[in-house]
């Protein structure tokens, strides 16, 4: 029933095989396959209510009115939900949207992934649509490709688009119970990044002479990550994940102007992770479009690895996360006076 307020929750994910580059910008189709781990312990809650009495969308993020670009992305998702086959169709009424993270946005975790996964689930329920997880993932992917993966829990893959096809969803490879790993996030700044992922990857594709090389190696790295996850082979997984992150950053560094997402602490952390490994500990890094370093390890070694990362100069704090569940609906409430 339209008019009901729906609330959903979703968790961020960290890619072990990175998505960087689009086959098609307008459709937001990834040019390379990616594979991520959805993380428990941090979440975005999103609530949506379509309300014809409103004069315009009212979008709040973390208790404040959304910036114009963020509100436009939310509106684009609401439009897609409204117009998709199985949705209400016709002119979309304005909506009240509240989205809140329980982790700092500057923590270097992809808040857009959990935010748009939670929003896709909440908005579809608020619109009275009943879509499969694959359909919800496809909707979220159109706004932010990494969000397609946060619809599912555990280890999740998002294939590359092979043609400008209308639909592309992430799919679960193995649930959170498949492998009890830990991801330690070493936070190295409170500042927001200067160039977002979307702009960064567009600039890379247009100007980096290494972009063709990235497109050539990424599918093989993805295949190695995928196989290592299925076999629970941490050494092969970690080495492939580092290759993916380093190849992505090398390609972005060669763009014009070069995309330098790292700070000094990022480099110190990479070196420390390599030293930890040389000393016999299981520790492998990955880095997204920002200066924070995420380190994959096992539960038995998480305290020792964390203690070493925490004292690397420039590290502000560390966060430990474990494999988490997919996006889900928390509540659907009818407006007062309506039957549920
Ligand atoms: C480095 O999903 O934020 O985190 O589709 O343009 O919204 P858009 O990009 P986004 O890019 C994520 C890039 C990354 C790697 C990854 O998560 O795979």
Q: How many residues does the chain have?
A: 340
**Do residues 244 and 214 share a domain?**
yes
**Do residues 160 and 267 share a domain?**
no
Is 309 close to ligand 1, i.e. is its CB under 6 Å away? Answer: no
- Nearest CA to 149 out of 335, 338, 326, 328 is that of 326
In a domain, 330, yes or no: no
H helix or E strand, kind and range, residue 100:
strand 95-101
pLDDT tens-digit profile of 166-206?
799 999 999 999 999 999 999 999 887 779 999 999 999 99
Measured in whole angstroms, the distance separating CA 253 from the mean position of its chain's CA atoms is 21
* Spatial CB neighbours of 39, under 8 Å, sequence gap ≥ 6: 11, 12, 13, 14, 109, 183, 321, 322, 323, 324
How is residue 122 annotated by DSSP? H
In a domain, 268, yes or no: yes
Region 75-92: mean pLDDT is 97
Is 197 close to ligand 1, i.e. is its CB under 6 Å away? Answer: yes
The predicted pLDDT at position 165 comes to 72
Q: Which domain holds residue 151?
A: 5-177
At which of 177, 208, 236 does a domain end? 177
Is 13 close to ligand 1, i.e. is its CB under 6 Å away? Answer: no
Measured in whole angstroms, the distance separating CA 296 from the mean position of its chain's CA atoms is 17
pLDDT tens-digit profile of 249-294?
999 999 999 999 999 999 999 999 999 999 999 999 999 999 999 9
Indicate whether 337 pLDDT > 50: no
Q: What is the DSSP pairing of strand 171-174 with strand 155-158? A: antiparallel
Q: How many domains does the chain have?
A: 2
The torsion region of residue 321 among left (phi > 0), alpha (psi -120 to 50) and beta comes to beta
Is 286 close to ligand 1, i.e. is its CB under 6 Å away? Answer: no
How is residue 105 annotated by DSSP? G
Residue 266: CB atoms within 10 A of its CB come to 23
Q: Which CATH number goes with the domain that contains 230?
A: 3.30.70.890
The predicted pLDDT at position 2 comes to 66
The predicted pLDDT at position 103 comes to 79
Is 99 close to ligand 1, i.e. is its CB under 6 Å away? Answer: no
**Do residues 138 and 255 share a domain?**
no
For the chain, the first-to-last Cα distance in angstroms comes to: 8
Q: What are phi and psi for residue 50, nearest 5 degrees?
A: -80, 135
**Do residues 144 and 199 share a domain?**
no
Is 255 close to ligand 1, i.e. is its CB under 6 Å away? Answer: no
Distance from residue 145's CA to the centre of ligand 1 (Å): 6
- Work out the mean pLDDT of the chain and round it to a whole number: 94
pLDDT tens-digit profile of 199-237?
999 999 999 999 999 999 999 999 999 999 999 999 999
- % of the chain exceeding 70 in pLDDT: 96
Indicate whether 338 pLDDT > 50: no
Q: Which atom of ligand 1 is nearest the CA belonging to 289?
A: 1
The predicted pLDDT at position 208 comes to 98
**Do residues 22 and 169 share a domain?**
yes
pLDDT tens-digit profile of 39-65?
999 999 999 999 999 999 999 999 999
In a domain, 237, yes or no: yes
pLDDT tens-digit profile of 287-319?
999 999 999 999 999 999 999 999 999 999 999
At which of 177, 198, 232 does a domain end? 177
Distance from residue 76's CA to the centre of ligand 1 (Å): 17
The predicted pLDDT at position 110 comes to 64
In a domain, 231, yes or no: yes
Q: Which CATH number goes with the domain that contains 162?
A: 3.30.230.10
pLDDT tens-digit profile of 103-113?
766 555 667 99
């Amino acid at each position: 029933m339209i008019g009901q307020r729906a609330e959903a929750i979703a968790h961020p994910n960290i890619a072990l095989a990175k998505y960087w580059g689009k086959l098609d910008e307008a459709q937001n189709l990834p040019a390379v396959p990616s594979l991520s781990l959805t993380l428990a312990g941090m979440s975005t809650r999103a609530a949506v209510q379509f309300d014809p009495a409103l004069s315009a969308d009212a979008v709040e993020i973390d208790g404040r009115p959304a910036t114009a670009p963020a509100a436009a992305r939310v509106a684009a998702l609401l439009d897609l939900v409204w117009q998709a086959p199985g949705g209400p169709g016709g002119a979309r009424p304005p909506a009240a949207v509240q989205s809140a993270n329980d982790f700092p946005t500057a923590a270097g975790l992809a808040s857009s992934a959990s935010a748009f996964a939670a929003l896709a689930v909440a908005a579809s329920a608020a619109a009275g649509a009943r879509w499969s997880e694959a359909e919800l993932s496809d909707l979220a992917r159109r706004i932010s490709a990494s969000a397609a993966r946060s619809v599912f829990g555990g280890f999740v893959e998002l294939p590359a688009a092979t043609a400008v096809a209308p639909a592309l969803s992430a799919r679960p490879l193995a649930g959170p119970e498949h492998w009890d790993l830990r991801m330690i996030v070493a936070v190295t700044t409170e500042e927001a990044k200067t160039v977002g992922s979307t702009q960064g990857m567009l600039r890379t594709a247009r100007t980096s002479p290494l972009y063709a090389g990235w497109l050539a190696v990424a599918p093989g790295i993805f295949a190695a990550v995928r196989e290592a996850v299925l076999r629970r082979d941490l050494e092969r997984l970690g080495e492939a994940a580092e290759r993916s992150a380093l190849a992505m950053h090398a390609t972005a560094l060669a763009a014009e102007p070069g995309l330098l997402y790292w700070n000094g602490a990022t480099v110190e952390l990479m070196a420390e992770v390599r030293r930890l490994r040389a000393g016999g500990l299981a520790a492998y890094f990955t880095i997204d479009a920002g200066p924070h370093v995420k380190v994959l390890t096992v539960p038995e070694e998480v305290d020792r690895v964390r203690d070493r990362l925490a004292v690397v100069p420039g590290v502000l704090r560390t966060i430990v996360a474990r494999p988490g569940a997919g996006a889900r609906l928390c509540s659907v409430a009818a407006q007062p006076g309506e039957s549920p």
